[in-house]
């Protein structure tokens, strides 16, 4: 049974062409606002992403991770340069300085080598790396990212409306050219001791994360008094907030810590897509009538997102340098 602290919101009313009334859209926006103020996590249905696409993506991902490391290393992140795209092995990614017990593939908006940002060597910008097999991974990822980008735009309209702002506030101020990053993570079988942590406690960096999962549990959210288990439900997406949204709402919304425990006997797949500000956005405070910091929780890293002064690209690069310190050190900056 799903935990009522992680509400399920039908977001059909946010979708263009759904024939929704203004009242229906306002109701969804109010539900999103309540969830964002409560735990910074909620689940969504009615998102319109085809089930067939989700199954194609999962099937292709399972086929890739079933291969050996030698084959997977042909698209390792070492080949991606400043774009930080490609595969990494179990233990290569760090959270709070500790290796995560997972492997994965990093993707981002597909950009050609002659794109100005790529030519300038801007981190996390460039072409993606795909394996020769399975052949369907490339088109499935591209279709999925397009669907997530559109869904992210719709959700941000709901967030803005829930805050009493024009639905297009984010697009007009911080996401004219959004930073969209996508990951596929594979968590191998594990136990419930320290060696079983697929990802340690952390928060996300940007605005919204849209997470698809297989039917294997493991994700936990830090509540006010305890950790909350997130249901593993195919076709129901999990949405959580990032650091910049906490900063921009001056604490009304929380970038909630979460973690993943490897407890399954046959591994777990997850598909987080990060909908973040434009690279050069400075993410100023939003023009809100009130804020709400009553349930502030000390951050896992002791940082203060409200003290940050810089662009989102600077913030993201600094964070990623701690996740992959060896890869970052190898860049010609």
Output the domain CATH number for residue 193: 2.60.120.330
Contact of 202 with 95, CB cutoff 8 Å? yes
- Residue 191's pLDDT band, with cuts at 50, 70 and 90, is low
Distance, CA of 132 to CA of 195 (rounded, Å)? 32
Residue 124 lies in a domain: yes
**E strand intervals along 138-284:** 178-187, 197-202, 208-213, 219-222, 227-229, 237-241, 258-261, 268-278
- Structure confidence by residue, pLDDT tens digits, 46-68: 999 999 999 999 999 999 999 99
Q: Which pair of tokens denotes residue 116?
A: 């100005």
Distance, CA of 305 to CA of 255 (rounded, Å)? 10
Task: Output 195 or 133, whichever has higher pLDDT.
Answer: 133
**Rounded average pLDDT over 58-83:** 95
Distance, CA of 126 to CA of 109 (rounded, Å)? 8
Residue 107 lies in a domain: yes
Helix axes 51-65, 137-162, angle to 10 degrees: 130
DSSP strand pairing (8-10 vs 41-45): parallel
**Segments forming the whole domain that contains residue 252:** 8-329
- Residue 300's pLDDT band, with cuts at 50, 70 and 90, is low
Question: What percent of the chain stands above pLDDT 90?
Answer: 75
- Residue 294's pLDDT band, with cuts at 50, 70 and 90, is very low
Residue 153 lies in a domain: yes
- Structure confidence by residue, pLDDT tens digits, 196-254: 689 999 999 999 999 999 999 999 999 888 999 999 999 999 999 999 999 999 999 98
Residue 2 lies in a domain: no
Distance, CA of 312 to CA of 40 (rounded, Å)? 20
178 forms beta bridges with 278
Residue 26 neighbours by CB distance under 10 Å: 15
**Rounded average pLDDT over 279-305:** 76
What value, to the nearest 5°, has the Cα angle with vertex 33 and ends 28 and 36? 125
User: In the 8-state DSSP scheme, what is residue 183?
Assistant: E
Asked if pLDDT for residue 256 goes beyond 90, the answer is: yes
Residue 1 lies in a domain: no
Residue 128 lies in a domain: yes
What is the gyration radius of the CA atoms in the chain, in angstroms? 19
Distance, CA of 313 to CA of 157 (rounded, Å)? 22
User: In the 8-state DSSP scheme, what is residue 178?
Assistant: E
CA 166 vs CA 26, 88, 173, 278: distances in Å? 12, 41, 11, 19
Residue 285 lies in a domain: yes
pTM of the complete model: 0.94
- Residue 8's pLDDT band, with cuts at 50, 70 and 90, is very high
DSSP strand pairing (103-108 vs 86-88): antiparallel
- Between 104-118, 195-209, 270-284, the lowest mean confidence (pLDDT) is in 195-209
Asked if pLDDT for residue 297 goes beyond 70, the answer is: no
Asked if pLDDT for residue 328 goes beyond 90, the answer is: no
- Residue 1's pLDDT band, with cuts at 50, 70 and 90, is very low
Distance, CA of 270 to CA of 302 (rounded, Å)? 27
The confidence score (pLDDT) of residue 322 equals: 87
Residue length, the chain? Answer: 333
User: In the 8-state DSSP scheme, what is residue 76?
Assistant: B
Contact of 89 with 281, CB cutoff 8 Å? no
Give the chain's domain count: 1
């Amino acid at each position: 049974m799903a935990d009522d602290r992680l509400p399920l919101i039908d977001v059909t009313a946010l979708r263009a062409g759904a024939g929704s009334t203004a009242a229906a859209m306002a109701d969804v926006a109010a539900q999103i606002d309540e969830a964002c103020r409560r735990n910074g996590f909620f689940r969504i249905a009615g998102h319109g992403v085809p089930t067939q696409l989700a199954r194609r993506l999962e099937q292709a991902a399972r086929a890739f991770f079933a291969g050996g490391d030698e084959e997977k290393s042909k698209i390792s992140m070492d080949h991606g340069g400043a774009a930080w795209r490609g595969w990494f092995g179990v233990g290569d990614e760090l959270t709070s300085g500790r290796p995560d017990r997972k492997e994965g593939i990093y993707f981002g908006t597909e950009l050609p080598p002659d794109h100005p940002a790529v030519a300038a060597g801007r981190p996390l910008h460039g072409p993606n790396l795909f394996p020769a097999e399975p052949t369907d991974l490339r088109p499935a990822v591209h279709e999925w990212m397009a669907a997530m980008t559109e869904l992210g735009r719709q959700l941000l309209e709901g967030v803005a409306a829930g805050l009493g702002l024009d639905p297009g506030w984010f697009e007009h101020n911080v996401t004219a050219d959004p930073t969209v990053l996508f990951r596929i993570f594979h968590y191998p079988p594990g136990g419930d001791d320290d060696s079983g942590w697929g990802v340690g406690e952390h928060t996300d960096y940007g605005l919204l994360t849209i997470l698809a999962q297989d039917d294997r549990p493991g994700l936990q959210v830090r509540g006010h008094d305890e950790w909350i288990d997130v249901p593993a439900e195919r076709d129901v997406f999990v949405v959580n907030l990032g650091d910049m949204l906490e900063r921009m709402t001056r604490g009304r919304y929380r970038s909630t810590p979460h973690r993943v425990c490897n407890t399954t006997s046959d591994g777990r797949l997850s598909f987080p897509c990060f909908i973040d500000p434009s690279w050069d956005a400075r993410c100023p405070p939003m023009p809100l009538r009130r804020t709400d910091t009553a349930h502030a929780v000390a951050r896992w890293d002791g940082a203060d997102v409200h003290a940050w002064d810089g662009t989102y690209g600077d913030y993201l690069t600094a964070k990623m340098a701690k996740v992959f310190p060896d890869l970052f050190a190898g860049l010609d900056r």
